[in-house]
C-alpha cells in the first residue's frame, strides 16, 4: 500500500492530503467508473484508491503486481509515515510523503523541509529489519544531497542504533505520535533518559530548530541508554560531556603525575637507604674491609721483624756466628723452653737448666733474654715471610760486600 500514486493526466496524487496534492478531490479517484488511471510510482503497475475500515485513505496495487517495495510495505509502516508527516507539519515544516531523490538514488518516507528553504530533513519510518550497513548507506546517500535524516521505530532494540540517529515512538492513546526513547541528558557525568513522552511534533520542532542534536556519546550511559551510541540531546549537554571528559582526563593525568612523583620519591629514598646500608654488609665480612686495616698494620709489623732479624743476623755475622738468634739463646734452648712450657712449666722453672754453650763459664741465660727470644720467636712464627725476606736481604748485602769494589 502507498499514499502516493501517479495519475495519467494529473501527475502525482497524494492520498493523505485533502486536495490530493494536485487540486483534486478523493471522490474523483475513489470508486469511479471507469477506474482512475493510477499507477505505482515504483513499479508502474496499476493502482486502486482504497479507504480502510478505520477511514484511512491509500492506494493499493491491482492484483498481479510484480515484486514492488511499495507493495510490500505494511499498513503499520504507512500509518507511521502519515503520523510523521502530520507531526512535521505541526512543527512548522513542509512535509511530503515518499519523495525520491535526484536520479532515484534515495527515497525519503517523509521529506520535511524549511518553508524558507534553509534545510531538508528525511523522516524515516523503519519498522522492517534492515542492517546497520544498509541504513548508514541510505543515510549517507541522502546527506550527499544535503538531506539529514531522523529514523523512527517502535521497536525496543534495533540493530542499527549505533550508526544513525533515531527515536523510539509509540502512538499515544488519544492519537498522535509520542517519542518515548532517544532524548537524553547529561546531568552528573553520565547519560540519562530525557523526558519520557514528548509529542513527535514537539520533538521535531526541537530537531528542526537545532534545540536537540544527534550526539555520538562517549561517556557512560545509564540503562536503557547503555546500548545506544547516538542520542538526541540539547547541545549544552553535548558540551557538558566534552568538559566532563576533559576534566576526567586532566584528573587522570594528575593522578599519573602524582604516582610518578611518589615512585620517584620512593626510588630516591630507597637508593639513599641502600647507600647508607652499603658499608654494613662489608663490615660483616672482615675479609674485605678489615683487610685493608690489617694489611696496613701488618706491613709495619713485618718491617719491624725484618729489621730486627737483619740486626740479629748482622750481629751474629760480626761475631763469626751464623745463627739467627741472640748469642746466648740457641735454637736448642728455645725449643726446650717451648716444649717444657707447653707441659705447664714456667720460664723460671726452666731457666736454671739452660746452659749457654759458649764462653768459659757454664752459665744460664737471663730471664729477660729468654723472654725476648720467646717474643721474637712468636713474631717470626706469625710472619715467617718477614724472616725469609730478612735472610734474603742479608744474603744480598753480604754478597755485595764481598764483590770487588
Ligand atoms: Zn509498485
Report CA(125)–ligand 1 centroid distance (Å): 18
Report CA(31)–ligand 1 centroid distance (Å): 20
Report CA(152)–ligand 1 centroid distance (Å): 23
Report CA(159)–ligand 1 centroid distance (Å): 27
| Grid cell 515484486 in the structure block, residue | 67
Report CA(200)–ligand 1 centroid distance (Å): 29
Position 120 scores a pLDDT of 95
Position 325 scores a pLDDT of 46
Q: Would you give the distance in Å from CA 50 to the centre of its chain?
A: 63
Position 110 scores a pLDDT of 95
DSSP state of 14: E
Report CA(74)–ligand 1 centroid distance (Å): 13
Position 322 scores a pLDDT of 47
Enter the C-alpha cell of residue 303. Answer: 718491617
Helix (H) or strand (E) holding 200: helix 200-208
Give the residue extent of every domain in the chain.
1-72, 74-233, 289-402
Given a contact cutoff of 8 angstroms between Cβ atoms, the answer to whether 206 and 195 are in contact is no
Given a contact cutoff of 8 angstroms between Cβ atoms, the answer to whether 36 and 28 are in contact is yes
pLDDT tens, position by position, 232-265: 999 999 999 999 999 999 999 999 999 999 998 8
Q: Which residues of the chain have pLDDT under 70?
A: 160-162, 276-302, 305, 309, 312-328, 357-362, 400-405
Report CA(220)–ligand 1 centroid distance (Å): 45
Report CA(48)–ligand 1 centroid distance (Å): 11
Given a contact cutoff of 8 angstroms between Cβ atoms, the answer to whether 84 and 125 are in contact is yes
Measured at the alpha carbon of residue 214, what is the angle toward residues 209 and 218, in degrees to the nearest 5? Answer: 145
DSSP state of 9: T
Given a contact cutoff of 8 angstroms between Cβ atoms, the answer to whether 142 and 112 are in contact is no
Mark residue 55 as left, alpha or beta (left: phi above 0; alpha: psi -120 to 50; beta: remaining). Answer: left
Report CA(41)–ligand 1 centroid distance (Å): 6
pLDDT tens, position by position, 352-403: 888 776 666 667 788 888 888 888 788 777 777 777 777 777 777 777 666 6
Q: What are phi and psi of 5, to 5 degrees?
A: -145, 165
Amino acid at each position: 500500500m502507498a499514499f502516493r500514486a501517479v495519475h495519467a493526466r494529473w501527475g502525482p496524487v497524494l492520498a493523505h492530503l485533502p486536495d490530493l496534492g494536485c487540486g483534486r478531490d478523493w471522490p474523483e479517484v475513489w470508486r469511479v467508473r471507469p477506474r482512475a488511471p493510477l499507477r505505482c510510482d515504483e513499479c508502474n503497475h496499476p493502482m486502486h484508491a482504497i479507504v480502510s475500515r478505520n477511514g484511512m485513505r491509500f492506494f493499493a496495487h491491482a492484483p498481479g503486481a510484480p515484486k514492488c517495495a511499495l507493495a510490500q510495505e505494511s499498513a503499520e509502516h504507512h500509518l507511521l509515515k502519515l503520523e510523521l508527516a502530520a507531526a512535521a507539519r505541526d512543527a512548522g515544516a513542509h512535509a511530503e510523503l515518499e519523495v525520491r531523490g535526484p536520479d532515484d538514488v534515495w527515497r525519503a518516507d517523509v521529506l520535511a523541509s524549511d518553508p524558507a528553504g534553509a534545510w531538508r530533513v528525511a523522516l524515516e519510518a523503519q519498522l522492517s529489519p534492515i542492517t546497520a550497513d544498509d541504513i548508514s548507506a541510505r543515510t549517507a546517500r541522502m546527506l550527499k544531497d544535503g538531506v539529514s535524516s531522523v529514523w523512527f521505530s517502535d521497536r525496543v532494540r534495533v540493530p542499527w542504533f549505533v550508526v544513525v540517529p533515531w527515536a523510539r515512538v509509540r502512538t499515544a492513546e488519544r492519537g498522535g505520535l509520542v517519542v518515548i526513547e532517544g532524548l537524553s541528558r547529561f546531568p552528573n557525568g553520565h547519560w540519562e533518559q530525557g523526558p519520557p513522552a514528548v509529542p513527535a511534533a514537539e520533538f521535531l520542532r526541537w530537531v528542526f530548530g537545532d534545540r536537540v542534536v544527534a550526539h555520538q556519546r562517549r561517556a557512560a550511559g545509564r540503562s536503557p541508554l547503555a546500548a545506544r551510541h547516538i542520542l538526541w540531546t540539547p547541545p549544552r549537554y553535548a558540551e557538558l560531556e566534552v568538559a566532563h571528559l576533559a576534566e576526567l582526563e586532566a584528573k587522570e593525568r594528575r593522578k599519573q603525575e602524582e604516582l610518578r612523583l611518589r615512585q620517584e620519591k620512593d626510588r630516591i629514598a630507597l637508593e639513599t637507604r641502600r647507600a647508607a646500608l652499603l658499608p654494613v654488609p662489608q663490615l660483616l665480612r672482615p675479609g674485605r674491609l678489615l683487610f685493608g686495616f690489617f694489611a696496613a698494620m701488618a706491613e709495619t709489623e713485618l718491617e719491624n721483624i725484618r729489621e730486627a732479624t737483619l740486626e740479629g743476623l748482622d750481629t751474629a755475622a760480626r761475631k763469626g756466628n751464623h745463627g739467627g738468634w741472640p748469642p746466648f739463646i740457641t735454637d736448642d734452648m728455645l725449643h726446650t723452653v717451648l716444649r717444657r712450657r707447653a707441659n705447664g712449666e714456667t720460664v723460671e722453672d726452666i731457666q736454671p737448666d739452660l746452659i749457654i754453650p759458649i764462653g768459659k763459664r757454664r752459665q744460664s741465660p737471663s730471664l729477660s733474654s729468654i723472654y725476648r727470644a720467646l717474643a721474637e720467636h712468636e713474631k717470626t712464627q706469625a710472619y715467617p715471610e718477614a724472616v725469609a725476606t730478612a735472610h734474603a736481604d742479608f744474603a744480598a748485602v753480604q754478597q755485595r760486600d764481598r764483590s770487588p769494589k
